[in-house]
Structure 1
Amino acid sequence: MQTNFTPKQLQDPGIARANEILRACVHCGFCTATCPSYRVLGDELDSPRGRIYLIKDMLENDRPADAKTVKHLDRCLSCLACMTTCPSGVHYMHLIDHAREHVEKTYRRPLMDRMLRAVLARVIPYPGRFRLAMQAAKLGRPFARFMPDARLRAMLAMAPPRLPPVSANDAPQVFPAEGKRRRRIALMTGCVQKALNTDINDATIRLLTRLGCEVVVADGQGCCGAAPHHMGRAEQAEHLAERNIAAWMAELEGDGLDAIVLNTSGCGTTVKDYGHMFRNGPLASKAAAVSALAKDVSEVLADLRPEASAPEPLRVAYHAACSLQHGQQVRTAPKALLAGAGFTVVEPADPHLCCGSAGTYNLLQPEIAGDLKARKVRTLEARAPEVIATGNIGCMIQIGSGTGVPVVHTVELLDWATGGPKPAALHREASGV
């Protein structure tokens, strides 16, 4: 794609990067075939190619975002299926992230939009606030139908019927390896995940220590910054990321680290991009070191090669989270681990398509997200699974809200297959709760 940025514009590192990405696009349209929002809406401007044209026009002419551009950029899930499909290597993720930052700086949204986004940015990254918000939402659920905005109804619907107690395992500490130590690993405990489902981190710690890993929950770590980052709130995202970099670098420069493990793939995609986020600042080398150490839990487990045996020969439908298969290009490891443990692994039709969770997308674009959820649940249930497994808490909540089939994290099944407890969701299914 031909671009016409001025030399002065190209002095801005963000514009220079956008220019590189735009010039890589050859208008081929392969991305439209795998774009979930285009599948639902059928509008060229709701495809990656269409959004690229809108972003180019906005940035090249150095103009504030307008309502039309914002509407179509907001409808993008950032699922990154287009990046997997693109034969030209267009790095759409960096482009859409830069465009959203430009939108946040130059466009004044309607009052309700501003309020909802401000609430999400001030609540989601902070587990204590998030738990309080979920408890308040649970009280408000009976009144959801009276809410004038579909997004408010979606937020109330997200509240689970119960929240687990805070897990002691999420506090800063060190879990010693069982037997001879093979690795020293920092575990990111997350924000939303440790509020909604403490079983995932607990299972991850049991599994890794059983396989000879010393697991560190670093003091000072917190939210990865993905939620504000994808809403264009660069300053808040960088502040959260800086805390994590400092916490993990203290461990790396102390007793050392072999990996930083993430069991929420949405967080993993963001942490692996810290090197790019801070590439032009004083934290560049430290951020790059953190990104180089960041691994999805399935990548580490594939290297450790656990000896596992499924206690029950369950039929498991594996849902590939977009942030894992497209954002991190991790596709085979989770399925191979489950199959190696003795589970029968099946996949839905169109496994590359998003379930509609996509961070805050199911809250801000509930109608499109609902359509995508219905499609995903339909294709998963068509494989007649006894359980659905995935590697991202957002997908678990989204899919679980549309099916009666229990939904668990991949590590919960692998923990069970290596001597851990049966996943709680399977107990609830057996008891009919």
Structure 2
Amino acid sequence: MQTRFSPAQLAEPETAASEKIIRTCVHCGFCTATCPTYLLLGDELDSPRGRIYLMKEMLETGGPPAAETVKHVDRCLSCLSCMTTCPSGVNYMHLVDHARAYIEENYRRPWPERTLRAILAAVLSRPALFRWALRLAAIGRPFAPLLPGRLKGMVAMAPDRLPAPGAAERPGVFPAQGPRRGRVAVLAGCAQAVVGPGINESAIRLLTRLGVEVVTAKGAGCCGALPHHLGKAERSHALAQANIAAWTAELDGEGLDAIVITASGCGTSVKDYGYMFRDDPEWAGRAARVSALTRDVTEFLAGMDAPIPATAPEGVRVAYQSACSLQHGQGVRETPKDLLRAAGFEVVEPAEPHICCGSAGTYNLLQPKIASQLRARKVGNLEATRPDVIATGNIGCMTQIAGGTQVPVVHTVELLDWATGGPRPAALS
């Protein structure tokens, strides 16, 4: 794709990187076939190709972007299915991330939208604050019909009860059982630590059972993905730097064999730290080191020297939902299914496994109509496989899908923990 950036614009590193990405696009349109919003809306401007045109024009023109451009960029899920499909290797993720940061800096949204986005970025990345917000929402649920717009839906989504905080939320070391075969750091995270602490509990039990010492590093917390996708670069970079510093201290201390992530949305973000800080002389080396060591929990388990000794309860039929951030963002597709099958589960895959469920970080809160349509489509495909349980690798997907089905939804690692001697997942009880 031809571009017309000025030399002054290209002197800015982010713009120079985006210009290279834009020029890689050859207008083929293969991406339109797998883009969830294009499939639903049928609008070229709600396809990756259409959005690339809009972002190109916005960045070349400079100044405040048009409201129409902002609308179509906001509708993008960042599911990255287009990157899996693209034959030219267009890095759409980095382009849309830059566009969102540009919009945040140069476009003045209506005050209710600004307020909502600021609240989401501040609250969701702070577990203690998020926990209190959910408790207040649960108390206020009877008054939800009186609330305006999206607030009504947000209050309705709050769970009736919250699980107790998990041990992984606090800094600590969980010793390996038997001879130590490795040492890893596990990211406690933010939203998952509040609504799904049992996921990291399962991961820690499983890893230590396999002879791996697990550390939750002091100072590590939210990966920064949620504010990052809202275009709030300063906040997301600060959170990323805190993690990089915490894990570097562990690397330089007793050492780490890997940084293990149980939320695939976080994993995609942490694996991108090296790119995020590529031009920062103070952080580039440490960020690249952290990214190179980061593994999804299923990646790490599959890479262990010996197979996992597991015996799943007989006859449990698992529908595996491949989280977009895992299959498209990290390229991890078959590994989770292989682990579940090796553990003795019957694994089935729904139709359209590449199509997003509509969670996408804060997308289901900001674009509830599109998100609910995608959830209905996803749930229909999953339920058609007649599963006993649905498994996935991301807390956002778990929450989104569980809101549309009576079939229990669990994290893949919870099933693997169960099959190796851990407790039955709470959702199955």
Question: Aligning the two structures, in what range does the TM-score lie when normalised by the shorter sequence?
Answer: over 0.9
Query: 1:36–1:354: 8 Å Cα contact kept in structure 2?
Result: yes
Question: 2:185, 2:120 → 1: CA distance?
Answer: 27
1:265 aligns with 2:264: yes
Alignment match, 2:249: 250
Alignment match, 1:44: 44
Q: Aligned runs of 1:242-391 on 2, under 5 Å?
A: 242-281=241-280, 282-304=282-304, 305-391=307-393
Letter in 2 for 1:200: I
Query: 1:319–1:389: 8 Å Cα contact kept in structure 2?
Result: yes
Query: 1:186–1:261: 8 Å Cα contact kept in structure 2?
Result: yes
Moved over 3 A (4+): none
Alignment match, 1:195: 194
Q: CA deviation at 1:170?
A: 2.2
Letter in 2 for 1:323: S
Question: 1:339, 1:168 → 2: CA distance?
Answer: 29
Q: CA deviation at 1:166?
A: 1.3
Instruction: Write the deviation string for residues 30-89 of structure 1: whole angstroms up to 9, x where unpaired.
Output: 000000011111110000000000000010112321210000000000000000000000
Give the alignment's TM-score, normalised by structure 2: 0.98
Instruction: Write the deviation string for residues 208-255 of structure 1: whole angstroms up to 9, x where unpaired.
Output: 001110100000001000010000000000000000000000000001
Question: 1:63, 1:23 → 2: CA distance?
Answer: 22
1:131 aligns with 2:139: no
Alignment match, 1:5: 5
Question: 1:145, 1:43 → 2: CA distance?
Answer: 32
- Of 299-308 and 225-234, more deviation after overlay is shown by 299-308
Question: 2:188, 2:382 → 1: CA distance?
Answer: 28
Question: 1:390, 1:168 → 2: CA distance?
Answer: 22
Query: 1:154–1:362: 8 Å Cα contact kept in structure 2?
Result: no
3-state DSSP class of the match of 2:287? helix
Alignment match, 1:227: 226
Give the alignment's TM-score, normalised by structure 1: 0.97
Query: 2:167–2:201: 8 Å Cα contact kept in structure 1?
Result: no
Question: 2:146, 2:329 → 1: CA distance?
Answer: 38
Question: 2:361, 2:420 → 1: CA distance?
Answer: 31
Question: 2:157, 2:234 → 1: CA distance?
Answer: 27
Letter in 1 for 2:260: V
Alignment match, 2:122: 122
Q: CA deviation at 1:10?
A: 0.7
Letter in 1 for 2:237: E
Alignment match, 2:88: 88
The percentage of counterpart residues that share the same residue type is: 65
3-state DSSP class of the match of 1:396? helix
3-state DSSP class of the match of 1:78? coil
Query: Which blocks of at least 5 consecutive residues in structure 2 are unaligned?
Result: none
Q: CA deviation at 1:298?
A: 0.4
Question: 2:153, 2:105 → 1: CA distance?
Answer: 27
Alignment match, 2:209: 210
1:63 aligns with 2:57: no
Alignment match, 1:430: none
Question: 1:96, 1:168 → 2: CA distance?
Answer: 36
3-state DSSP class of the match of 1:353? coil
3-state DSSP class of the match of 2:177? coil
Alignment match, 1:166: 165
